[in-house]
Amino acid sequence: MSNAARFDAAKTLDFVAVGRLCIDLNANEINRPMEETVTFTKYVGGSPANICIGMSRLGLKTAFIGKVANDQMGRFITGYLNKEGIDASGVTVDQSGAVTGLAFTEIKSPTDCSILMYRDNVADLLLEAGEVREELIAATKLLLISGTALAQSPSREAVFQALDYAKKHGAVIAFDLDYRPYTWTSDEETAVYYNLAAEKCDIIIGTREEFDMMERLGNNPGRDDHITAAKWFDHSADIVIIKHGKDGSIAYTKDGASHRARSFPAKVVKTFGAGDSYAAGFLYGLMQGWEISASMEFGSAAACIVISSHSCSDAMPKAPQVHEYIERCLAGEITAASN
């Protein structure tokens, strides 16, 4: 099957994401620890939200399914989605007094970044199965789920409801593993729910470490990427991507092929957001009918643009920016030091 043919052209939406919507507060004073950081810039955050924003910037018709707090932060998020042209009709507003998740990012150096999370009683994990709008999933070519939403009920059931609707209506399903340990309480529980969800997905994207977490129930002591990917071809998957940070990524397909993508040079400000922009770029390429390796290259370049910027969501590039980045790298105009 060609990469374009896997998506149902008759559907009116290209992309729907389900899961976490929150706020990133990224340190303005970079290259120093949080203890010495005093000002932050506020952005919409959360991996599936970032990917959805990325897809919308790339020109796709998108919608989001999630839950926000009934406060100023929640309204900031829905306002931003509207401004970006994302259909937010599937975003419900919590009425129980839950709060918006906050991620304070510490940028100690381009390679030493961490996130300080405030996620007690967050609205995004209160999305209920009954609030997942079937008509949005029926209308989309591609549904993205993300692992953090599986961490707790009722959001866990909401994700499985979304998966059922996607199967029923023939949407392609992508799973960005997005494993955030602070959201989970038990390693066994984490692995069980990740595996149950991954069995239902057509495209699985994660880092080596995320797949290691899922494999704690299995047997791959050598952490072999090929063994990791092969397991999923016995279920629904036909593409499995394993990301290795600056060392690039590798995609395996059900037909036995594999494709490696190197990373491009980048003048890195901070590393977070790489995975989200990579996923948006890769999935966009696939939806254009490009070859897997061209889609991976596009995702890798989109990632460089985001990690060279201060934010994750707001820095998501438009397609011409990504093409230009690739051309400039190929022409030797961008090196890690000069970008």
Ligand X SMILES: O=C(O)C[C@@H](O)[C@H](O)C(=O)CO
Ligand Y SMILES: Nc1ncnc2c1ncn2[C@@H]1O[C@H](COP(=O)(O)OP(=O)(O)OP(=O)(O)O)[C@@H](O)[C@H]1O
Instruction: Name the minimum Å distance from CB 276 to ligand X.
Output: 5
Residue (104 or 160) nearer to ligand Y, CB: 104
Binding residue for ligand X, selected from 45, 206, 265, 299, defined by CB under 6 A = 45
Residue 230 near ligand X by CB under 6 A: no
Q: Side by side, which strands form the sheet with 22-27? A: 40-45, 22-27, 102-109, 112-118
**Cα-Cα-Cα-Cα dihedral sign, residues 125, 229, 53, 312:** positive
Residue 273 near ligand X by CB under 6 A: yes
Whether the CB-CB separation of 19 and 146 falls below 8 Å is answered with yes
Which of these ranges, 70-78, 83-91, 130-138, 302-310, lies near ligand Y under the rule CB under 6 A?
Answer: 302-310
Binding residue for ligand Y, selected from 100, 249, 295, 311, defined by CB under 6 A = 249
Tokens for 245, please give them. Answer: 């940070």
Binder of residue 24, out of ligand X, ligand Y, none (CB less than 5 to 8 A by kind): ligand X
Residue (103 or 136) nearer to ligand Y, CB: 103
Contacts for 106 with CB less than 8 Å, ≥ 6 apart = 27, 33, 34, 37, 113, 114, 115, 116
Binding residue for ligand X, selected from 37, 47, 78, 308, defined by CB under 6 A = 47
The 8-class DSSP code of residue 199 comes to T
Distance CA 128, CA 145 (A): 15
Query: What H or E segment, with its residue span, contains residue 87?
Result: strand 87-93
Which of these ranges, 46-54, 66-74, 257-265, 280-288, lies near ligand X under the rule CB under 6 A?
Answer: 46-54
Binding residue for ligand Y, selected from 23, 214, 266, 286, defined by CB under 6 A = 266
For 192-294, where are the E strands, in sequence order?
203-207, 239-243, 249-253, 258-261
Instruction: Name the minimum Å distance from CB 102 to ligand X.
Output: 9
Residue 268 near ligand Y by CB under 6 A: yes
Which of these ranges, 59-67, 86-94, 269-277, 301-309, lies near ligand X under the rule CB under 6 A?
Answer: 269-277
Residue nearest to ligand Y (CB): 275
Residue (103 or 201) nearer to ligand X, CB: 103
Residue (154 or 245) nearer to ligand Y, CB: 245
Distance CA 74, CA 122 (A): 11
Q: CB 258: neighbour CB atoms within 10 A?
A: 14
Binding residue for ligand X, selected from 53, 103, 203, 213, defined by CB under 6 A = 103
Please list every residue from 302 through 321 that binds ligand X, using CB under 6 A: 312
Binder of residue 249, out of ligand Y, ligand X, none (CB less than 5 to 8 A by kind): ligand Y
Distance CA 244, CA 133 (A): 35
Binding residue for ligand X, selected from 16, 21, 46, 304, defined by CB under 6 A = 46
Whether the CB-CB separation of 191 and 216 falls below 8 Å is answered with yes
Q: CB 182: neighbour CB atoms within 10 A?
A: 11
Contacts for 149 with CB less than 8 Å, ≥ 6 apart = 18, 19, 20, 48, 124, 125, 127, 155, 156, 158, 159
Total residues binding ligand Y (CB under 6 A): 22
Tokens for 257, please give them. Answer: 């092929």
Contacts with ligand X by CB under 6 A lie at: 22, 24, 45-47, 50, 103, 115, 180, 272-273, 275-276, 312
Contacts with ligand Y by CB under 6 A lie at: 207, 243-246, 248-249, 263-264, 266, 268, 271-276, 278, 300, 303-304, 307
